[in-house]
Structure 1
Amino acid sequence: MLSDAKIKAAKPQSSKYKLFDRDGLFLLVQPNGSKLWRMRYQFLGKRRELALGKYPGMSLKDARDKVFEYRAMLDNDVDPHSAHARRRRLEGGYTILEAIDDLLADKARRCVPAHVEKCRSRLYKYVVPRFGHLPLPGLSSDDLQDLVVAIDEAGKNHMALRVLGLVRETYDLAIRKRKADYNPAQPLKGVIKPVKVKNHARITRPARLAELVRAIDVYHGTWQVTLAMKFLSLTFVRQKELRSMTWDDVDVDRKMWVIPAEKIKMSRDHIVPLSRQAIEVLMDVRRLGGEKGLVFPGLRPGRPISEGTIVTALRSMGFTQDEMCGHGFRGTASTLLNEMGYDHKHIDMQLAHWDSRSVSSAYNHALYLKQRTELMQAWADYLDELRAGS
């Protein structure tokens, strides 16, 4: 049997050699002086060895305790090799940072790049600096709760919820890959309460909408702003889509505007059928500003109208911030079209309310195109009726 004195006295030789203890435990002495604990055993008639650890990091007593534990497994017809490998995996070098990178790689196979980058940015900003170096089991629910609560209390409720969700996904994937047993995010469900987000201000009364379309007609701003508001009311796209719109994206003959996926960070192109009235607006734009580059350019060459242009115009026309905003054209159209009985699937598709993270959704960018074309013309005709006071 071995003793600490014998182990310390063991000197390296030109080739490795073994010093045996009991129950299959032995010490392997390497030519470089390293002393490694090994356990030899038989399972189902096959001879096997386990690497237990390195002396003196693992003491003689620790090595014997480990062998005793594994011998008990053998007595119950359980191979200790799988349990040992699993323990080394959980206690070893697989860090939270590596698990996060595995999650991002998994998302990259399933999601669009913009979504993956957003996830990477959140995890690397909030989780990696604080916990990235830890082994995967090293993150406690309490530590994670402290992190997300701090983010929430900093006024970033949405971010706190997203970070918590991403950590949950990280550990869920690790569990599926058998690199973790426990998800520290699981007990934290409900810890961060979502803050109810106030809807974008929008007009929902037809009489007030009629006043808006008439006010746009007589607005005394630049032609770019006046025509941009007219076009926005007819198409109810996002303002960033309107501002980045180029003539290359427009097919006047087919009465169609195709917004490239990369412009809107979506998984697919978005088709906007153009009503007769929308085409008339574009013809006015072409007459006044030409047919190259941006459809609605700002005052600076090559730059679009600014982000605040639409809202500034709305305020000057007497529509308050609690009543209408640039994004509100979307809510206005959605509310009134639904009230008018149009199919909500067609409305949502025209609003581009799909799951932007899913690559698999890319195939159906032209879904319901016939119905959406009819819907857009009906909406433009409805605005004309309101304008005329019908």
Structure 2
Amino acid sequence: MKRSAIKRRPLADTVLQTLEAEAKEYRESYGADRLYFIVASSGRKRWEVRYKKPSTGKWAWMGIGGYPDRSAKFARQEAQRIAQLVADGIDPVQQRRGDEAHPFSEAAEAWYRDKQDRGRAEKTLRGIRYWLDNDALPALGAQPVDKISRGDCARLQEAIEKRGAFNTAEKSRTWLNQVFGRAIAMGHTENNPASNLADIAAQPPQEQRYPHLMEPELPDFLRALEQSPSKLVVRTAAWMVVRTASRPGMVRWAEWSEIDGNVWRVPAAKMKMRRDHVVPLPDQVVADLEALRPMTGRSRYLFPGEGAVTPVISDMAINTAFARIGYRRRMTGHGSRHTASTLLREHGWPKDHVEAQLAHKEAGVAGVYNQANYLEHRRRMMQWYSDYLDALARGISDEDKAVFKQRIEQG
């Protein structure tokens, strides 16, 4: 039910069970004992009690658990117990801290489990896990969450910035705020020492576009890639990135179970925009994968790594393959997406088809999603693109150009 439909208080159990989430978290008075019911935008529900701190007389909040794990009856009893503590001059939050210390590691791991439970993308979870294990927990893990200072958080941010990981530093600010926000809601601390870190963040260097090639530069690059000294697994991944204009990370983590003939079905959990994505595979890519299958077909992944630490080829493997043929800082895996987008648009392929192939998000209702409708169009477009790359590599003739132009006109 909508909260606007609430007719009486204390709130009935049926109301607590059916209250709907809104775009922003909201708090409703239960109607007794200064007890409040909170509904998060995710749909999760919890209890909080409002009380006056005996030491200052200022109003404060104390979390007393989630709903339905904590019933209304329990919440009322706990609210009455807190009111008695306050009447006796005891701050209930301070008492809780004295009873139980909550290290940052505990708060962070609980926050991470929430992310897992809410179905966050695998790539996002891997990034969070790496940040926890290599940055946050070594710096803050053993400290009680309510004893961590702004200086502690600032030093963590500075350490990340010093190694040039400005994107990680930005994500670190967001994640720290979420960890402390959850700890506040749980009553483990009253302050968020990670607030305002952006005010002292180092300015990252001006972002440059991914290096990429224009059409006149492609013939030499393609011929060099054909002669690449890289191993078959890496060469095949590099060609798959070039011919499909897919994100390198998406290709690196591709699984054999996702390949269905000449279609690659990427689940939403792996995608940046959290939507299923369908990639038509040109004949050349299908042939490459069939040649690769005897080598890696028993693995879960198309492009497995060589050790237990990394299940797939490294995030530098494709760029390294390009560097080995003389294209360091001239062409990158992500840059191949710019190359494909520019070439396809310049030759007259519809923008919507190109954007769908690149898995870019469309605004409004259209974003829900034209991808399926465009699949056959994209299949023809990407086969054209792959054939065109081959023609460039062997030396494209005027006759070839006329044939390719006719194929575009036929859609």
Question: What's the TM-score bracket when you normalise by the shorter of the two chains?
Answer: 0.5 to 0.7
SS at match of 1:258: strand
Could you tell me which runs of 5 or more consecutive residues in structure 1 were left unpaired when the two chains were aligned.
Answer: 1-45, 47-67, 355-363
Encode CA deviations 1:335-380: one digit per residue, 9 max, x unaligned: 44456676767545533457xxxxxxxxx7x861231441342244
Q: Among 145, 152, 158, which residue is 2:161 paired with?
A: 152
Partner secondary structure for residue 279 of structure 2: strand
- After TM superposition, the structure 1 = structure 2 runs for residues 130-279 of structure 1, keeping only pairs within 5 Å, are 130-192=139-201, 193-203=203-213, 205-209=214-218, 212-213=221-222, 215=223, 219=227, 231-239=240-248, 242=251, 249-252=258-261, 255-259=262-266, 270-274=277-281, 278-279=282-283
Which shows bigger deviation, 242-251 or 92-101? 242-251
Deviations 1:256-291 (A, max 9, x none): 1235678889967642113xxx225534775xx486
CA contact (8 A) 1:168 1:185 kept: yes
* Aligned counterpart for 1:371 among listed residues 374, 398, 401: 374
* 1:81 alignment partner in structure 2: 85
| Root-mean-square deviation (Å) | 4.7
Higher CA-based Rg: 1
What do residues 206-262 of structure 1 show as CA deviations (whole Å, max 9, x unaligned)?
33335545x36974879958876655432123446556767664333xx31235678
| Equivalences for residues 1-390 of structure 1 within 5 A | 79=83, 81=85, 84-89=91-96, 93-95=100-102, 96-110=104-118, 111-112=120-121, 115-192=124-201, 193-203=203-213, 205-209=214-218, 212-213=221-222, 215=223, 219=227, 231-239=240-248, 242=251, 249-252=258-261, 255-259=262-266, 270-274=277-281, 278-280=282-284, 282-283=286-287, 286=290, 289=291, 292=294, 294=296, 314=322, 320-337=327-344, 347-352=354-359, 368-382=371-385, 384=387, 387=392, 388-389=396-397, 390=401
**Structure 1 residues 248 and 154: alpha-carbon distance in aligned structure 2, compared to 1, 3 A threshold:** closer
- Take 1:84 and 1:223, find their aligned partners in 2: how far apart are those partners? 65
Q: 1:185 to 1:219 in 2, by over 3 A?
A: same
Mapped contact 2:318–2:333 kept (Cα < 8 A) = yes
Q: Is the 8 A contact 2:122 2:269 kept in 1?
A: no
AA partner of residue 331 (structure 1): H
Shift of 1:170: 0.8
For the residue of structure 1 that corresponds to 2:91, the secondary structure is helix
Worse-matched range after superposition: 224-233 or 91-100:
224-233
Q: Using the alignment, how far apart are the partners of 2:225 and 2:126 within structure 1?
A: 42
User: How far apart are the structure 2 equivalents of 1:185 and 1:345?
Assistant: 41
What are the Cα deviations for residues 136-189 of structure 1, in whole angstroms up to 9, with x where unaligned?
331121221122213322443333333332211111222334443321111222
Contact 2:323-2:329 within 8 A present in 1 as well: no
Q: Distance in 2 between matches of 1:84 and 1:150?
A: 37
| Residues in 2 aligned to 1:234 and 1:381: alpha-carbon distance in whole angstroms | 10
Residues 187 and 242 (structure 1), Cα distance of their counterparts in 2 relative to 1, 3 Å cut: closer
**Count of residue pairs brought into register by the alignment:** 297
Aligned-pair distance for 1:383?
Answer: 5.5
Distance in 2, matches of 1:125 and 1:188, equals 20
Separation (CA, whole Å) in 2 of partners of 1:71 and 1:248:
62
* TM-score, normalised relative to structure 1: 0.57
Deviation at 1:202, TM superposition (A): 0.8
